[in-house]
Chains A and B, each alone.
Chain A
Amino acid sequence: MSAPLLEIQELRMHFPVRTGVFRRATKWNRAVDGVSLAMQSGETIGLVGESGCGKSTLGKCIVRLLQPTSGRILFEGCELTALRQRQLRPLRRQLQMVFQDPVESLNSRHTVGEILSEPFVVHHLGDAGSRRRKVHELLDKVGLPSSAADRYPFEFSGGQRQRIGIARAIALEPRLIVCDEPVSALDVSIQSQVLNLMLDLQREMKLSYLFIAHNLAVVKHISDRIAIMYLGRIVEFADADDIHLHPRHPYTQALLSAILPPDPTHDRQRIILQGDVPSPINPPPGCPFHTRCPHATDRCKSDVPTLRVAAPGHQVSCHYDF
């Protein structure tokens, strides 16, 4: 196996919870709490979990929109976490992000042409003429007419705006794109169009994706491997088909059983988890999932399970085998 494109080692992102008159940090929100992950070039890793599990925070740490508390992020062997913002700039060409809400992530006062030429301006690439050509190329690549360049984001539908967001992300021909819930705000019939576009672009440009989403069916479709997160940690990491067919962690099993297939004849045993996800400010001791786990034992209440190899290429963080 070649050297990984992206390697995350023991990453932690703890946000201070400030209280009192002096705004002292009395508690910490452990949004990401010791995540390690390696990603190969050209691969798509899906990152799945429920709200508050830290998946978006992890994505933001990777593109350094957040400075992690501790841990290392290596991109092509270069340690991102040690770089200053200025040193980071050349690397940013390789590392882009697509956001969930294309309304908020596109500047509404700029035309689409201005939005798409900005990456070239920031990185001092080309002149006005070549940038214009590039913008038209990009629009064509994501399936929008070149007339779109002179229009404003609000003139487009949600799906088209997400295409603009994707065009901006691929403008500098990056190697890795972190996609944070890129299709969850879109209508069903538009979702599949955008997913197809992402698959086409990946093949064409040899992109790697870190695909963050809560919808396991969508993630399974687009990913090579899937990491399941719960309360700031990865609880299971395996090949996408393996996750679907042989889930080993009780949480993954519950997530899979909670998917409602569009088929009324589908008969399945549903695992309904009791209670809510605990707060990452005050996570339970032992296994973070033990408060909702149907198989929890006394050991789970005190011993923290580590991510272990349960089968070739299949890591799981549970004391037991299910």
Chain B
Amino acid sequence: MEAENRHPDPSCALTDSLLSIRRLAVGFETDDGLFRAVDDISFEVPRGRTLGVVGESGCGKSVTAYSIMGLLPKPQGRILQGQIEFHDRDQSLDLVTASQEQMQHIRGGRIGMIFQEPMTALNPVHNIGRQLSEVFLLHKTQDKREALALSIQMLHKVGIPSAEIRAGQYPHQLSGGMRQRVVIAMALACRPAVVIADEPTTALDVTIQAQILELMQSLQDEMGMSIILITHDLGVIAEMCDDVIVMYGGRIAESGPVDRIFAAPSHPYTRGLLKSIPRLDAVRKSRLNVIEGMVPALADLPSGCRFQNRCAYRIDACAIQPPLATVGAGHETACHRWRELPPLPAATA
């Protein structure tokens, strides 16, 4: 029932990818037993590109991010199997087995993180300058003055007007968009090789979302970091990402270059998601396409293909987890019947 090894030639993946996640499984210990929030997933994070991870609540997208950061809630959460190899500056390190000191250096230094809710990500009792300085003091310099100067420079960079004044202010004095800019400044302070953004714009208004996404893109152009963008919003994925992974029930349903996933989705779940989004150019008050049923809780996941209970194309073979099949260049899907899926009506796209 396990997926086949996805990488026939791992050496080629080593050269251009920054992170290689191999057969990662993450479990959570609860009163009702162990649940696998992430179950045997493998993927690569290419250098300098943006990888989107999309899925609904409980699909394991955030747990994947927290595993990379070594921030799983302890003691309930733990990595059950797999490697997270970080190929940085000519050396490779498995983040699963890395020591606390190594992780402390990597976290914030080489891998930055942008959280969903900037109000909870920032400490309410310290001013902005002090919080940002902390990152520099941990990773760059011993001198507090220099750290503050670097912080102000960083605030300028993320587009905060009158940064010198803002540095002396507290999170509650800033608007939501400003706070998210501060969080981005913290994540990028040490010029990390990769930044993980977990729903970075979900808590923001649409006009502010546009500002933040533009900022992330321009900073990537300038600094060349990879971005792992975790979101439930396919619009954000389409706008920002080069490659995308669609997750469902702790597994990868489909992955590939963003144009392929949107133009030729080859998993019934991806298709269902794309069809169920209300679009501006659709006929008003028409019935929307739906995916029947509900997003299953981890305890209720079926064995075999996770999506089978909600899938219109279910067959007996779906009781066995389908291996990732190659649809096209870099495009893989975990569906037994992907070849048989009807062609997409062009009009709905």
Question: B206 near A50 (CB under 8 angstroms)?
Answer: yes
CB of A161 to closest CB in B, whole Å: 11
Query: Among the listed A192, A221, A224, A258, which residue makes an inter-chain contact with B210, where contact means beta carbons less than 8 Å apart?
Result: A258
A266 contacts the other chain (Cβ, under 8 Å)?
yes
Question: B285 near A199 (CB under 8 angstroms)?
Answer: yes
In this complex, the interface size class of chain B, counting residues with CB under 8 Å from chain A, is 35 or more
A151 contacts the other chain (Cβ, under 8 Å)?
no
**Interchain residue pairs with CB less than 8 A apart (17):** A157-B297, A188-B56, A190-B294, A195-B288, A215-B206, A224-B285, A255-B206, A258-B209, A259-B206, A260-B238, A261-B235, A262-B234, A262-B237, A264-B241, A272-B211, A274-B211, A277-B205
Question: B278 near A192 (CB under 8 angstroms)?
Answer: yes
Chain B residues lying within 8 Å of A264, measured Cβ to Cβ, are 238-239, 241, 258-259, 262
Chain A residues lying within 8 Å of B273, measured Cβ to Cβ, are 188-189
Residue of A nearest to B239 (CB): A260
Chain B residues lying within 8 Å of A259, measured Cβ to Cβ, are 206, 235, 280
Residue of B nearest to A195 (CB): B288
Chain B residues lying within 8 Å of A196, measured Cβ to Cβ, are 287-288, 290
Question: A262 near B289 (CB under 8 angstroms)?
Answer: no
Which residues of A247-273 have CB atoms within 8 Å of chain B's CB atoms?
254-266, 270, 272-273
CB of A256 to closest CB in B, whole Å: 8
Question: A195 near B278 (CB under 8 angstroms)?
Answer: yes
Question: A51 near B205 (CB under 8 angstroms)?
Answer: yes
CB of B261 to closest CB in A, whole Å: 9
Residue of A nearest to B263 (CB): A265
Interface string of A195-221 (1 = CB under 8 A from B): 110010000000000000011111011
A276 contacts the other chain (Cβ, under 8 Å)?
yes
Chain A residues lying within 8 Å of B284, measured Cβ to Cβ, are 220-224, 240-241
A interface list, Cβ under 8 A from B: 44, 50-51, 157-160, 187-193, 195-196, 199, 214-218, 220-224, 240-241, 244, 254-266, 270, 272-274, 276-277
Given contacts A261-B238, A262-B262, contact A187 B206 (CB under 8 A): no
Interface string of B55-80 (1 = CB under 8 A from A): 01100000000000000000000000
B208 contacts the other chain (Cβ, under 8 Å)?
yes
Given pairs A189-B290, A224-B285, A258-B206, 16 additional interface contacts (CB within 8 A): A51-B176, A51-B205, A191-B276, A196-B290, A217-B277, A221-B279, A221-B288, A241-B284, A258-B209, A261-B279, A262-B274, A262-B277, A263-B262, A264-B258, A272-B207, A277-B205
